[in-house]
Amino acid sequence: MSNDVMVLGGGIAGIQTSLDLAEMGIQVHLVETLPCIGGKMAQLDKTFPTNDCAI
Amino acid sequence: MTYSHLEEVSGEVGAFQLKVRKKARYVNEDLCTGCGACVEKCPTTVEDAFNIGLGERKAIYKYFPQGIPSTHCIDAENCRQLGQGKKCGICAKVCQAGAVDYEQQDQLVDLEVGAIVLATGYDVFDPSVIPEYGYGRIDNVVTAIEFERLLSASGPTHGHLDRPSELALRVEIAALDKDLKKFNRQIDKLEEKHGKKTAEFVKEFKAGQAGEDGDFERWASLAEKAAVAEEKLAPLNKKEAAAHTAKKLAFIQCVGSRDFRFNRFCSSYCCMHSVKEAMIAHEHDNETTSSIFCMDLRAVGRGFEEYKLRGGNSANIQYIRGRVAEITEDEAHNPIVWYESTTTRKVEHETFDMVVLATACVPSAGTPKLAELMGLDLDENGFFKTDSLIPLDTSRPGIFVCGCAQGPMDIPESVAQASSAAARAAEVVFTAPKAAAGGGK
């Protein structure tokens, strides 16, 4: 039995899941194939509908 | 764990045994300070995947400037020392922290977890399979994500809307310039050695009066090469001087989605993505005008309709209802869009500076392999299969899916699903021991 969770993929969805789980006190293993987390959203300049910066 | 991938999964809900391969970065994560001295000195340049090939990076690199972790990483395949077996070692020499380690090996990490959340995202549809849009053939037809990088202040053009055809032109000019400088340096040396100007020498050489010297053949050929390069450069420089940033943009919706030949589904975020890109382009330069060609513009979401109208009212965006049939190109590399306007019921055409294809969201390339590894079902579109009443549960208990791995969605929806998946995973983890005590599996 283990109380850890693995999150596969370090894009916006993976990061959000990991943060939420960590806040609940759960040990998270976030696995990402690229050298940095951020995923597709990091490639975006601004986001709709507020034109906020994506990073 | 970044730069890692999952290799094996076994066990069941509450106790999954995993094997994760942590790939060698060849840079010690504990020592690297991310200063970037190694990047400055690295002699190898390769295409930058983060900028979708529009920019360049070195063989030792950080994936993107603000990337986390800030540890650099060596791309072994392109590295002179690691991949090509040459003597280099420059990065190790300049690294003050002593973090570069060419001997680093992949590590296999064993984990045991109670639940798994898949957030493997999506891939951008490759529009080069649609021949009529000319992607890959016409320089100034780009995908939405490429356009995003061009617009970005941290992108390859620092946020100026330089057209790809002009970027290619600049690369060509730079290469010719480099050659010309090399020829001129050698010519200068020869001029100094023989105390003669090249023009004078060439005249004598052609007339056969130059006499005999080991250098003369080379000198003549260099002079000729330099002349050819100069001749080639002149028209290119003229073209470059006349170049301007893209001011008239066309956005084409549903490229690869809602198309029976490729994907039947709607990729959901592309309509708003195009409106946003058109608005940002207008913010950069208020002379920019945009036409968005769509079957219907789907602004479904909080504040989206208002955003769309704001684009039309204050960002010079024109929404044209009609599907684009073909894109052709004129001599100045301007794309010409041929379409049937369903409002006027006529086939029309218009010339633009640049065309942006709103490409579909397709399952990421690794999805089928991952599904096989984990024993999960995929839906008819190739995303992870879920039930519409329990939208985050995959076909295997204890494994949840969120974001674009489940189907196309925008950022707010991905974030909402992510939080929801976290709650589902927490439920499993917190209740698992109880379930076991109650005699359940």
Domain boundaries, chain B: 24-105, 116-121+364-437, 125-162+245-362, 166-242
Say yes or no for a CB contact (<8 Å) between B403 and A13. Answer: yes
Distances (CA, A) of B360 to B11, B104, B253, B269, B278: 36, 39, 9, 9, 18
At B432 the pLDDT is 66
CATH topology for the B24-105 domain: Alpha-Beta Plaits (3.30.70)
pLDDT band per the 50, 70, 90 thresholds, residue A11: very high
Contacts of B418 in chain A (CB under 8 A): 12-17, 20
| Helical (H) or strand (E) element with B251 | strand B248-255
What contacts B108, CB < 8 A, 6 or more positions away? Answer: B7, B19, B20, B21, B22
Say yes or no for a CB contact (<8 Å) between B64 and A38. Answer: yes
Contacts of A43 in chain B (CB under 8 A): 50, 52, 64, 145, 148-149, 152
Q: Is the dihedral of CA B179, B183, B184, B186 positive or negative?
A: positive
A45 has a pLDDT exceeding 50: yes
Task: Tell me the CATH number of domain B125-162+245-362, given options 1.20.950.20, 3.40.50.970, 3.50.50.60, 3.40.50.2000.
Answer: 3.50.50.60
CB nearest to B403's CB, from A11, A36, A38: A11
At B182 the pLDDT is 92
**pLDDT per position as a tens digit, B388-436:** 888 999 999 999 999 999 999 999 999 999 999 999 999 999 886 554 4
Contacts of B423 in chain A (CB under 8 A): 20
Say yes or no for a CB contact (<8 Å) between A36 and B414. Answer: no
Q: Which of B13, B106, B429, B430 to mutate to test the interface with A (most CBs of A within 10 A)?
A: B429
Count Cβ neighbours within 10 Å for each residue of B162-179 and write b for 16 or more, e otherwise: bbbbbbebeeebeebeeb
B285 has a pLDDT exceeding 50: yes
At B200 the pLDDT is 85
Say yes or no for a CB contact (<8 Å) between B18 and A45. Answer: no
User: Crossing angle of helices B216-242/B198-207, nearest 10°?
Assistant: 130
At B441 the pLDDT is 37
Is the CB of residue B425 less than 8 Å away from at least one CB of chain A?
Answer: yes
**pLDDT per position as a tens digit, B45-57:** 998 889 888 888 9
At B437 the pLDDT is 42
**pLDDT per position as a tens digit, B299-352:** 988 899 999 999 999 999 999 999 999 999 998 889 999 999 888 899 999 999
CATH number of B116-121+364-437: 3.50.50.60
Contacts of B417 in chain A (CB under 8 A): 13
Is the CB of residue A1 less than 8 Å away from at least one CB of chain B?
Answer: yes
At B347 the pLDDT is 93
Q: DSSP assignment, residue A42?
A: G
Query: Comparing B434 with B167, which gets the higher pLDDT?
Result: B167
What contacts A27, CB < 8 A, 6 or more positions away? Answer: A3, A4, A5
B438 has a pLDDT exceeding 80: no
At A54 the pLDDT is 76
The total of other beta-carbon atoms located within 10 Å of residue B103's CB is 6
CA angle A32, A38, A43 (to 5 degrees): 130
Task: Find out whether B198 and B220 touch, Cβ atoms under 8 Å.
Answer: no
At B217 the pLDDT is 83
Find the mean pLDDT for residues B119-127.
94
- CA dist B236 and B176 (Å) reads 10
What the block records as the tokens of B90 is 């420059």
What contacts B247, CB < 8 A, 6 or more positions away? Answer: B161, B285, B287, B288, B289, B353
Is the CB of residue B155 less than 8 Å away from at least one CB of chain A?
Answer: yes
Say yes or no for a CB contact (<8 Å) between A17 and B422. Answer: yes
- CA dist B192 and B297 (Å) reads 69
- Are B24-105 and B125-162+245-362 the same fold in CATH? no
At A47 the pLDDT is 87
Is the CB of residue B429 less than 8 Å away from at least one CB of chain A?
Answer: yes
E strands, chain A, are: 5-8, 28-31, 46-47, 52-53
At B112 the pLDDT is 93
